[in-house]
Amino acid sequence: MKRFCLSMLMIACVHATMAQTTQISVSGATTGATVSPALHGIFFEEISHGGEGGLYGELIQNRGFEESKIPEGCTLDSGFIRPPRTPHYSAGRVVDWAMPFEAKNDYPAWSLATGGGAVARLALDLSQPLYPETPRSLKVAITSVPHTGNVSVVNEGFWGISVQQDAAYTLTFYSRAEKYHGSITARLVGANGKMLAEHVFERARGDGWKKYTATLRARAGDARATFQLSFSRPGTVWLDFVSLFPVKTFRDRANGLRPDLAQYLADLKPAFVRWPGGCFVEGISPQSAPNWKKSLGPVERRPGTYSPWGYWSSDGLGYHEFLQFCEDVGADAMYVFNCGVSCEMRSGVYVEDEHLDTLVTSTLDAIEYALGPPDSRWGRVRARQGHPEPFPLRYVEVGNEQAGERYARRFNIFYKAIKEKYPQLEVLAAMGIAHLSQPTIRTIEKMDIADEHAYKAAGWAMAYADWYDKYPRKDWRLYVGEYACNAGVGAGNMTAALNDATFILGLERNSDLVTMSSYAPLLENVHDTDWPVNLIRFDAARSFARISYYAIRMLNEHKASVNLATQVTVPADTVTPAFTGRIGLSTWDTQTEYKDVEVTHNGRVVYQSGVIRKEDWRLTGGQWEVRDSVLAQTKEGAWPLALLEGRSFDTYTLTLKARKTGGYNAFMIPFAFRDDQQYMRVHLGAWLNKVAVFETVTKGVDAIVSQPVRLEKPFELNRWYTIELRVGTTTVACYVDGSLLMTYHKPADLFAIAGRDDKTGEVVVKVVNAVGHARPASIAVSDLTLEPTGTAVVLAADTPDDENSFEQPTRFVPQTTPVPGIGRRFDYVFKPWSVTVLRARIKRPSPR
């Protein structure tokens, strides 16, 4: 097996002499990394109501009235949840972190509706719990209900309840009555007040908690219905655990999942499912972090978990349901457990190393629940839940996004304990919030897989297409546990999909190292978005998957067994300048002066600022003034921008003088400014005056797109520097005081990998064309003979801003067409803004 290095093989921008078409050469005889079957999985987290009010089928919000309780181990202080004020795990001192408590009142999502002169009152009550673990209930004190009056308790669902005509819903609730001799009527009511379904319980029954069940069948549908329980007489009624479930759930499981959302996940054919997070795993205090044991058994008795994303999960989608889902979709399970530290980006409360025994035991118990024989302690509990066979648990991860030596020492404790009992399990180490953490790696004695995260802005994947080619290989593998292009792409669009697809090609090519990956986050209820870009978006009634979803799905579906050496030669466009646009001046947390701005083209001066005139510049952000014939930016803060009015340049040399007068960094020179949405800039003295980098700004989001160049010494205060940008057709060179500091090369915009699918006997070529014009290509496959007709699966959009939507959920999905004329060398035109998979059957090995 050879490992191909992208820099050697993939991008060869040559002058367009031999051919104007892109050349893709695949060597059928040179195999690379075996493509890991565990690429690609999914990552579920309770974020943006991904589970509660999302994947989990329950339609009633706050069904157990537990949602106004303060997360365990925390206190409520002026509307904020405060964890214990103990020293932070990595900061070593008390950090005064707190988060707003979102519960609107004592019984969120519930309200009282009275009419016709009826009088009643609601109150949260803990006096006679249904179960000690879930002590809260709703007390409905009805003072009077005139003949024509009404008293109803209304649940708003999760931003409405989606009721479908003719569908059946299972209602369950518990009630206790005192001096109440009336009926209880359950109804689904449309947003316009129309009754959609009704069931009357003629008489509330006696003392103590009683369970009520019924099936509600909807005569009509409504996307934003409410659920109501109405009372006909005065008296006092307590309610608890009011649950409404569609009879139809994914795979018809009781306490199951919302079918459309679960189907999206199943269609991804995930190799594994990571659960339950994310920051959710970390919690905001060790006591409030998820506890798998409390997510088992009767749903009425599950106290729930407070998500650090600001809401309660009922834990209806608990550990057992997660394992069941993995089995249902044929995926391995990855269980991430809290390792005794709450989220370090938040509170960082922790349990000392010497008190980890309980957590270690709890983890081993969780594993036993999944894998133990039915006569083991926890295997028996699983069997009692109706599942005597083991579940497909294959991976466990020690915490989420922890890193550093202290974490690594803790990891070693868990690793040893787990491997001793379950050597077959793969144990993953977290690596913090981004790339591999070297202090963690140095201190870890042994790990199976490292989990690094890669949230990137638009353009990063193209600029760093060879990112994983360069990683040294060790005795462990890499899991990119959370990745997404999620900045500069709105709520996700075709640009994001092209970035994600390019990133995935890099993963697959480097599959000897990167054996697993999962996009994040997966699910978003659009009424409570906690994260800017998510894969599948939904409300109570509708859902759609973003183009990125389809890109991931098609690349996963068409995974090869082994990579084949692939060389891409894109004819360099030596004619069309890549950096056409306006120029500007800017700063970041720095006060700076600029003067003597001059632009030359072919040695001829085409612009000269002379004595700077304010009216020549469009000045936004910061505080700009002209003083002593220089343009000065005098305020700290981000995003000040002076844009030269009315002039656009294509290839040119920009020279100017710059002097720093205060602040943290130094100079920023925007260029290639096409519109407010997209431009580039040179940042000299970034990272507190330590490095120089090229950056892109897309829709107000910046991304570093060049290797940072470390400055020999910081830019000095009150010294004039001469800065020169030599902007060519495809390169930008930056000089300071006559010395070349760094050069930026326009990144490739076509990416390809190829492989052999040994299951089907096909060659698979995957191509991302990240530009807005069609790409004629000549594809040559050596050392293999291909059948004359193949297939193309194409995911394309009209513009980089395109995206699927609720209105047009499948506007941009892959299209499959036959490809005739396949041979040793064949032509194919890649669509603008597209991800393409070409498949061709291998006839027989060609004679050498």
Measured from the CB atom, the residue of 53 and 246 that comes closer to ligand AHR is 53
Site for ligand AHR, residues 421 to 450, rule: CB under 6 A: 433
For ligand AHR, the closer CB: 48 or 515 = 48
Identity of the residue, 13 or 701, whose beta carbon is nearer to ligand AHR in the bound complex: 701
Q: Which of 401, 426, 451, 749 binds ligand AHR (CB under 6 A)?
A: 401
Rounded to a whole number of angstroms, the minimum distance from the CB of residue 341 to ligand AHR is 13
Measure the CA angle with vertex 351, ends 349 and 353; round to 5°.
135
Q: Please state, in angstroms and rounded to a whole number, the distance separating the CA atoms of residues 6 and 16.
A: 21
What letter would DSSP give residue 503? H
Neighbours of 571 (CB within 10 A): 17
Pick the closest to residue 792 from 765, 823, 759 (CA basis). 765
Pick 273 or 691: Cβ nearer ligand AHR: 273
List 45, 156, 315, 448, residue binding ligand AHR (CB under 6 A)? 45
> Minimal distance in Å, beta carbon 280 to ligand AHR?
6
Of 272-280, 586-594, 690-698, 777-785: span binding ligand AHR (CB under 6 A): 272-280
What's the closest the beta carbon of residue 455 comes to ligand AHR, in angstroms? 7
Element (H, E) at 440: helix 438-443
CA distance 134 to 62: 12
Which of residues 136 and 546 has its CB atom nearest to ligand AHR in the complex?
546
* CB 514 to ligand AHR: min, Å: 18
Which position among 277, 340, 348, 506 is part of the footprint of ligand AHR (CB under 6 A)? 277
Question: CB 79 → ligand AHR: shortest distance, Å?
Answer: 24
- Kindly state whether residue 400 participates in binding ligand AHR, applying the rule CB under 6 A: yes
Exposure b/e, 102-140, CB count within 10 A at least 16 = b: ebeebbbbbebebeeebebebebbeeeebbebbbbbbbb
CA distances from 89 to 1, 345, 378, 435, 438 (A): 43, 10, 32, 20, 18
Choose between 101 and 483: whose C-beta lies nearer to ligand AHR: 483
Strand partners of residue 834: 769, 796
Enumerate residues 6+ apart whose C-beta is below 8 A from 798: 832, 833
Min dist. Cβ of residue 556 to ligand AHR (A): 19
Task: Report the residue number, 520 or 626, with the smaller CB distance to ligand AHR.
Answer: 520
Q: How many CB atoms lie within 10 A of CB 639?
A: 14
Helices within 348-428 (DSSP H only): 357-371, 377-384, 405-421
**Cα atoms found within 13 Å of the Cα of residue 751, Cβ hemisphere only:** 28
Nearer to ligand AHR, 309 or 378 (CB): 309
Residues 455-484, interacting with ligand AHR (CB under 6 A): 482
Please name the residue that has the structure tokens 């990137």. Answer: 456
Min dist CB 401 to ligand AHR, Å, is 5
Q: Which parts of 484-543 interact with ligand AHR (CB under 6 A)?
A: 520-521, 531
Per CB under 6 A, the segment of 157-165, 208-216, 277-285, 823-831 that binds ligand AHR is 277-285
Q: With contacts defined by CB under 6 A, name the span among 244-252, 276-284, 495-503, 619-627 that binds ligand AHR.
A: 276-284
**Joined tokens for residue 761:** 């006997």
Figure out which of the listed residues 57, 135, 278, 814 binds ligand AHR, where binding follows CB under 6 A: 278
Region of 138-146, 275-283, 327-335, 782-790 interacting with ligand AHR (CB under 6 A):
275-283
Cα 795 to Cα 814: distance, rounded to the nearest angstrom: 4
- How far apart, in whole angstroms, are the C-alpha atoms of residue 619 and residue 36? 52
Query: Pairing between strand 22-34 and 775-782?
Result: parallel
CB of 453 to ligand AHR, least distance (A): 6
Considering only the stretches 202-210, 274-282, 501-509, 818-826, report the one whose residues sit in contact with ligand AHR under the rule CB under 6 A. Answer: 274-282
CB of 795 to ligand AHR, least distance (A): 24
User: What residues numbered 634-673 form the site for ligand AHR, per CB under 6 A?
Assistant: none
Query: Residue 335 CB, nearest distance to ligand AHR (Å)?
Result: 15
How far apart CA 521 and CA 51 sit, in angstroms, is 12
Output the smallest distance, CB 531 to ligand AHR, in A.
5
**Phi, psi of 413, deg, nearest 5:** -65, -50
Q: How far is the CB of 306 from ligand AHR (least distance, A)?
A: 14
Nearer Cβ to ligand AHR (402/655): 402
Task: Please give the Cα distance from 302 to 295 (Å, whole number).
Answer: 6
CB closer to ligand AHR, 486 vs 706: 486
The CA angle 456-457-463, to the nearest 5 degrees, is 85
CA distances to 124, 176, 765, 772 from 179, rounded to whole Å, are 19, 10, 74, 73
Token digits of residue 290: 């998820």
Q: Does 265 bind ligand AHR (CB under 6 A)?
A: no
Which is it for strands 184-189 and 195-201: parallel, antiparallel or unpaired?
antiparallel
What is the nearest approach in angstroms of ligand AHR to the Cβ of residue 532?
A: 10
Closest CB to ligand AHR among residues 513, 535 = 535
Does residue 250 contact residue 258 with C-beta atoms inside 8 Å?
Answer: yes
547 to 535, 537, 735: CA distances (angstroms): 8, 11, 41
Q: Which C-beta is closer to ligand AHR: that of 16 or that of 433? A: 433
Minimum distance from residue 497 beta carbon to ligand AHR (Å): 18
CA 329 remoteness from chain centre: 21
Which residues in the 19-38 window bind ligand AHR by CB under 6 A? none
Tell me how far, at minimum, the Cβ of 417 lies from ligand AHR, in Å: 24
* Nearer residue to ligand AHR within complex by CB, 45 or 802: 45
CB of 529 to ligand AHR, least distance (A): 12
Contact window for ligand AHR (CB under 6 A) among 122-130, 243-251, 273-281, 542-550: 273-281
Q: Which amino acid is at 524?
A: E
Given the complex with ligand AHR, which of 433 and 441 has the nearer CB atom?
A: 433
> Nearer to ligand AHR by C-beta: 484 or 630?
484
Instruction: Decide if 22 contacts 776 (C-beta within 8 A).
Output: yes
Q: Which of residues 153-192 bind ligand AHR (CB under 6 A)?
A: none
C-alpha 266/C-alpha 462 separation (Å) is 29
> How far apart are the C-alpha atoms of 389 and 320, rounded to whole Å?
13
CB of 263: closest distance to ligand AHR in angstroms?
22
Question: Judged by CB, which is closer to ligand AHR: 366, or 520?
Answer: 520
How far, in Å, CA of 380 to CA of 768, rounded?
A: 50
**Closest approach of ligand AHR to the CB of residue 320, in Å:** 23
Closest CA to 360 of 421, 406, 304, 306: 421
Nearer to ligand AHR, 45 or 757 (CB): 45
Give the CB-nearest residue to ligand AHR.
Answer: 278
d(CA 757, CA 763): 6
Q: Smaller CB distance to ligand AHR: residue 270 or 640? A: 270
Instruction: Name the pairing type of β-strands 536-538 and 523-525.
Output: parallel
DSSP string, 91-134: T-S-----EE----SSSTTEEEEEETT-EEEEEEE-SS-SBTTB
Taking the C-alpha atoms of residue 309 and residue 280, their distance in angstroms, rounded to an integer, is 8
- Number of residues forming the site for ligand AHR (CB under 6 A): 12
According to the binding rule CB under 6 A, does residue 195 interact with ligand AHR?
no
- Site for ligand AHR, rule CB under 6 A: 45, 47, 277-279, 400-401, 433, 482, 520-521, 531
